[in-house]
Amino acid sequence: MATATSDGTYTFDNGQPEAVPQMHALESFLDPITTRRLARPVLGPGATCWEVGAGGGSMARRIARAIGDDGSVLATDIDPTHLVAEGNLHVRRHDVRTEPPPGDAYDLIHARLVLLHLPDRRRVLRTLTGTLAPGGWLVVEEFDCTATPRVLTAPSDDAAKLFGQVMDAMMGVLEDHGADLGWAQDVHTEMALAGLTEVDTITHSQSWAGGSTGTSLYETNSRQLEPDLLAAGLSPNQLNAFRRLVRDPGFAVMSYHFVSTRGRLPE
């Protein structure tokens, strides 16, 4: 997913070389969780769906298969480079911050790791709510980044401290670009205030071993944010040591906390 920031730049740009491994790591971790959250009664045959900030399109493709030929999925992103239209899956370049919704009366709108990066996230959530069909579902999923992921095992205390130092710097960079690291905790309340019912939230986290697809996300993020991290005072040696650490089989850390919230527009 290409993520627009308050200054018009991109925190995570789909055109970066690191975008593909980032999307692969996210999809491997999150798609099974999201798929369970979109199961009946949320998603059924023939539904009309909008995947916001579709990134590599993995969830858009899963939704397209689930709803069958009588349904349709519109996958949008501010940079749809990695999206491919086929069958009942349609693709459009779209900026959810500034452009009107690309249609209305959606049975499902899904936005994953999108709104936390948008300074006007509350307004966008209400826009999405207003685009639902009666009885339609809004599913918003975010990382809760208010706490540094807990190190479980590390080769040394210094290595564990380095991980925390780099992660704190990365979170600082995201905040500087307009992200709200605690937004995931507010989504449930905001959905209720927007008039949605049957609102429910789950939180998921798990351990990631060094060298796994999960810890590769931390390394990839460090590469994507490297210029800002260096400007924040980290050294190239520290970043290189951090990347070696997250590849070390003797290292283990908890994942980001993933928060999935869904609500339904009354009939």
Report d(CA 75, CA 55) in Å as an integer.
9
The whole-angstrom separation of Cα 208 and Cα 163 is: 14
What is the structure's pLDDT at 96?
Answer: 95
Domain ranges of the chain: 19-264
Q: Which fold has domain 19-264?
A: Rossmann fold (3.40.50)
Average pLDDT along the chain, 267 residues, taken 10 residues at a time: 42 58 87 96 96 95 97 96 95 96 95 95 97 98 95 98 97 94 97 98 97 94 96 98 98 97 97
Given the DSSP bridges, would you call strands 197-204 and 257-264 parallel, antiparallel or unpaired?
A: antiparallel
Supply the pTM of this predicted model: 0.92
Q: Where are the alpha helices (DSSP H) in 116-254?
A: 121-129, 157-176, 187-193, 213-224, 226-231, 236-246
pLDDT value of residue 211? 97
